[in-house]
Structure 1
Amino acid sequence: MSKSKNIVLTGTSRGIGFEMAQLLASQGHQVLALSRNEKPLSEKNIQGIHTFSFDITNASDFTRVASFITENWESVDILIHNAGALLNSPFEEISRQSFRSIYEVNVFGVAELTQTVLPFMKSGSHVVTVSSMGGVQGSSKFPGLAAYSSSKGAVITLSELLAEEYKDKGIAFNVLALGAVQTEMLEEAFPGYEVPLSAAEMASYIANFSLTGNKFYNGKVLQVAATTP
């Protein structure tokens, strides 16, 4: 088994993040699993998984993350931005508040958590952001996802910039632009829409990439979709 890593992972109450936290812990890694609803994981009482309720839009919660790392780990090897908010609505009907709330989670939250965790990262660390094929230029677009897909495009550019800014420190930043995965979030936004890829299958792929991808990639956007846009 490879050396145990300290991993910060968001969006862990269900779907891909819920599966990934358990998978990484089963491999012997230490996982700080961050989600507004920590109960699904905390009730399982899995060795290696640490949880507390974390709202990515609440400034004081970031202080709790820094305190946990300082008191328990001292350093972080991997940060995985998996939390996401999805809104399916005609563009003209999206309120200012709704548009802003999508960006609060998908862009500003990613930026602030990165700022929080970076001081604990050293050469060889890896920051992975889960984006969407909808944020990639030239990919097919779903109408109704103006706020969501544009926010997913924003974090792609953010990651590319940070890869450049931190390359001398040996910290890698990469993005996985996912195609559709069968998750609760997808079902809520597109009722009845079914895809062949499960949350557990995608969780396994992202976990493996997070552990090894920085040896091969930095500042890259990998399109993780079985279909060609």
Structure 2
Amino acid sequence: MSKRVIVTGASRGIGFEMIQLFANAGHEVIALSRKIDAIQSLDNTSIQAIATDLSAQSSIEETAKTILTKWDRIDIVIHNAGMLVNKPFQELTPEDFQQCYAVNIFGVASLTQALLPALTKDSHVVAISSMGGIQGSAKFPGLAAYSSAKGAVITLFELLAEEYKENGPSFNTLALGAVQTEMLEEAFPGYQAPLTAPEMASYIMNFALTGNKFYNGKVLQVSASTP
């Protein structure tokens, strides 16, 4: 059965691979990103690109309005967008923290709120977090803002799962380890990850399609290596 799928951070890396996998499997996709040129260049009739700035409430509201006008039911939302700041803690500015949290946690909460009217008991909302957000996992200098924000989204989704457990949707989080993407290169220059973006995109797609049958309010650690 064809699903209606929303993916944020869809213009590069895992998100870009994911929207193509969903579309090629026969699903309807709305792809959100600040820059949508790469998405539009795919020229795929199953993918609609909407330029969205997840750090701006007005942009989120406008995007949600467009989506809800088009769809009265949303089956899957994948909060894949991420914003990374890599600098020593003493050099982090309030603006660094604000921008990082705006995309990685505040934007996730706001977009989810705005889409609630079209989310049902069978809908699955998936947050893409990081192993850096897992308590007790290996931590790395320079990622204080990023990893703490990724930890916050894990707790947020545990709370949302509890709040909506009676009539849905389901909320789960995937804490990813190292995947060969532009963002990994920003965090760990020169590091070669064991997984490619297409490989992880395929895993996330399968989890988004079926994971809510088995999990709700859970964080799964998807990591073959550290970092």
> Normalising by the residue count of structure 1, what TM-score does the alignment of the two structures yield?
0.96
Counterpart-to-counterpart distance in 2, 1:164 and 1:227: 31
Other-structure match for 1:114: 112
Q: C-alpha deviations, 1:174-200, integer Å up to 9, x for none?
A: 000000110011112322111121000
Which of 127, 135, 153 is the matching residue for 2:125? Answer: 127
Other-structure match for 2:218: 220
**Any gaps of 5 or more consecutive residues in structure 2?**
none
**Any gaps of 5 or more consecutive residues in structure 1?**
none
What secondary structure does 1:52 align onto?
Answer: strand
Which of 195, 198, 201 is the matching residue for 1:200? Answer: 198
Contact 1:69/1:76 (8 A) holds in 2: no
Other-structure match for 1:137: 135
Contact 1:69/1:75 (8 A) holds in 2: no
Other-structure match for 2:33: 35
Counterpart-to-counterpart distance in 1, 2:204 and 2:9: 13
Counterpart-to-counterpart distance in 1, 2:194 and 2:168: 37
Q: C-alpha deviations, 1:140-172, integer Å up to 9, x for none?
A: 111111000000000000000000000011310
- 1:66 deviates by 2.3
Contact 2:173/2:219 (8 A) holds in 1: yes
Identity %: 61
Residues 44-123 of structure 1 mapped to structure 2, 5 A cutoff: 44-123=42-121
Counterpart-to-counterpart distance in 2, 1:44 and 1:226: 31
What secondary structure does 1:123 align onto?
Answer: strand
Counterpart residue type for residue 106 of structure 1: N
What secondary structure does 1:173 align onto?
Answer: strand
Counterpart residue type for residue 54 of structure 1: T
Aligned-pair Cα RMSD in Å = 1.2
Contact 2:194/2:225 (8 A) holds in 1: no
Q: Report how many residues are paired.
A: 227
Other-structure match for 1:8: 6
What secondary structure does 1:122 align onto?
Answer: strand
Counterpart-to-counterpart distance in 2, 1:14 and 1:198: 13
What secondary structure does 2:180 align onto?
Answer: coil
Counterpart-to-counterpart distance in 2, 1:153 and 1:216: 22
What secondary structure does 2:194 align onto?
Answer: coil
- 1:228 deviates by 7.4
Higher strand share: 2
Other-structure match for 1:170: 168
Contact 1:135/1:153 (8 A) holds in 2: yes
- 1:227 deviates by 3.5
Counterpart-to-counterpart distance in 2, 1:58 and 1:51: 18
> Normalising by the residue count of structure 2, what TM-score does the alignment of the two structures yield?
0.97
